[in-house]
Structure 1
């Protein structure tokens, strides 16, 4: 294979031609996930070191994710009206605040409030409104480029960030524990200070984004007109409103803070996908990164410096495999790529408790990581292509909210099972649930394929970028 072919296959040519804002978004995600990875690997151990039971640690993770649900839902619902850059800046401010609180506070409830109201990742991966808003920006910025390549490199940036943050944490804490002589808990505080600094840098990056990352005003106005037309039959006459007070109008405004208005075709495909994503996310919550770190630390008594280094390796393999998702999806299709690459990773997760040593456990995690994130890029492209351009940020927000809400129940289940001495069984259950999600996704793809053959429905193709700038989307969902 010649160099030009390889460059095209890996999306490097698209990356070079992409506008400046795309590269800023890559940098933003790298910084953010590095921060999430650094705190994710120590969060459960940090809370346990403060004397909290496994049940309370699991409850902490659950409530943190629940708080993130409402934060994400509100901010992503209003991001296009408030401004995508402003929403990102607000999220950075919350991230900075949370990091400062964790760096100085010890009280369980104060830490919980900071995690719920701010941005602290209990999973080591994406939380908050950042990813949904960024994916809306990328869909807008990549209208004239290969969208699958743009999203693939966005996934790579995030995965490399988690790997870097995870690897750095162990060695930073080791430096402060041995040469400096600090306790484990004191060294963990340093990580939260680093988290705060990264939040500040990320805020500076957000300030550099241009107006091209924002949704165009005519697009927002078209969306507002469509929402008003849908709502009009539900509105009372002016005389009735005067007689009965605010009535439906005020209620609808309150509901729209949390529930975005979406067109009927979008809702039709969205609820089915969200049901499947919910199953997968619940399983992910049970085996969240910080709980995985806690499990390995408890079972093998590994020092954090070794553990963080070993856990960083799978993310490197995950980043490399994410680049292969784009050419594979171009050949197989989006939904098949999502399902067929994710199923083996679910099976490997179920075998994790059988590993007798931490080295073998990490081999299983590396093999799993090489496949587990290959569905993320195709999934983002699929969602971007089956909805209106002006609905993308909202849809990404709804999907992330459903996933986070489902994920939030997982840590509580894990905490209860760990307290009962069944920590290892959590990974078997998680693997079974994830495999069920993959098989259901295959079933959905086959049913959609059969429907398309009979009814001439166009299945989404990764190269069919919607003409967002010209407003050519008709709002129909291509399934």
Structure 2
């Protein structure tokens, strides 16, 4: 059974809609987990350097698992792999509340699915991308990914608001650590719900015949893109969302509830930037959209590092949020467009894994930089490196056009 847009799994729900719903559940869990995790570690007595190490372990583990799944996906049932990923999310939520030693927290972070960055990384991403890419025509592909990203960001925004729940529980007599643990159990429940949804995905969603090699004629293009994306991800790791939360906690004494409200609005702005990005891409092209929305967002991030008060810092970070994620659906659509259909699962993985590996290095460095006299240094480093990446991407791929931009 091919996974066309209109095909319906056992639920009667269109396959694309089912994947959108699963993405929404995962996004909601990520929305509160990435804020609760550093708060949980702080409550246990750990400092910024320890949080940075855990963030690094999480991203490194994500990279290893995503690489493995991307390589076997062309030859295996995508439904089984999707269910495995959701089951891993449930296991992560069950494990975190039951460990307190830094070594065990780091191990769970490495194996598990909590994503400390604002981007959508993880074992499920290349699998869902491959299914979605086969479910849309060239003309609709960017729009499909824009909606996918929109749903994920709005769900993440809603999840950010859920970080007020621990404060409510504490006000009613629950200890702070117990409240954080309940949030992790809620994360596990969302993973289990995702697994139930993936059970309705048709078995044969990939190619009817597996390719001889995961990557073929598009290998060089994919490797060049992966190298560039790794620069962007290395830069982004300096302000992984869990570390940005910590910077706001320590620099401006921001409360957990206020942090949740801020990330709700930043995620909401990012969400509504996705359809705007699809609209711009139709007129300016995918690469131009990626580059010329990304550079201003990096400038806002650099300025935020020097903000003298909380309100100016939050304002600049919100401006950054309105622009910084426009490259997400356009980048995904571009990768899926410049490779053959048989190469899409591997291409999604190969471009995602170096990003995870690169972004896993910088949080540990950022955690140390946060303890220096100028705690905004990670923001400056991130913004500068991202601008360099944008210029390199424009120079290297401005003439490599997807099918819808040719002719």
| TM-score computed with the length of structure 2 as normaliser | 0.93
Matched, 1:216 2:207: yes
Tell me, in whole angstroms, the C-alpha distance in 2 between the residues paired with 1:394 and 1:189: 36
Matched, 1:262 2:215: yes
Runs of 4+, deviation exceeding 6 Å? 15-19
Query: Which residue pairs with 1:147 in the alignment?
Result: 141
Paired residues for 1:296-445 under 5 Å: 296-445=248-397
Matched, 1:30 2:21: no
* Deviation of the 1:114 alpha carbon: 1.5
* Deviation of the 1:194 alpha carbon: 0.9
Query: Which residue pairs with 2:191 in the alignment?
Result: 199
Tell me, in whole angstroms, the C-alpha distance in 2 between the residues paired with 1:369 and 1:387: 30
* Deviation of the 1:16 alpha carbon: 9.6
**5+ residue gaps in structure 2?**
none
Once superposed, what is the RMSD of the aligned Cα atoms?
Answer: 2.1
Query: Which residue pairs with 1:105 in the alignment?
Result: 99
Question: Retained in 1: the 8 A contact 2:48–2:246?
Answer: no
Question: Retained in 2: the 8 A contact 1:38–1:124?
Answer: no
3-state SS in 2 of match to 1:209: coil
Question: Retained in 1: the 8 A contact 2:251–2:375?
Answer: no
Tell me, in whole angstroms, the C-alpha distance in 2 between the residues paired with 1:168 and 1:376: 24
3-state SS in 2 of match to 1:423: coil
Tell me, in whole angstroms, the C-alpha distance in 1 between the residues paired with 2:402 and 2:87: 37
Tell me, in whole angstroms, the C-alpha distance in 1 between the residues paired with 2:266 and 2:130: 28
Indicate the structure (1 or 2) with the bigger Cα radius of gyration: 1
**5+ residue gaps in structure 1?**
1-14, 228-260, 450-458, 465-477
User: Which of residues 82, 90, 93 is equivalent to 1:96?
Assistant: 90
Between stretches 102-111 and 315-324, larger displacement belongs to 102-111
Question: Retained in 1: the 8 A contact 2:51–2:243?
Answer: no
Tell me, in whole angstroms, the C-alpha distance in 2 between the residues paired with 1:293 and 1:55: 14
* Deviation of the 1:325 alpha carbon: 1.0
3-state SS in 2 of match to 1:146: helix
Matched, 1:175 2:168: yes
The count of aligned residue pairs is: 400
Query: Which residue pairs with 1:474 in the alignment?
Result: none
* Deviation of the 1:463 alpha carbon: 6.7
Query: Which residue pairs with 1:230 in the alignment?
Result: none
Tell me, in whole angstroms, the C-alpha distance in 1 between the residues paired with 2:357 and 2:137: 31
Tell me, in whole angstroms, the C-alpha distance in 2 between the residues paired with 1:145 and 1:89: 30
* Deviation of the 1:144 alpha carbon: 7.6
Tell me, in whole angstroms, the C-alpha distance in 2 between the residues paired with 1:72 and 1:95: 14
User: Which of residues 61, 64, 75 is equivalent to 2:55?
Assistant: 61
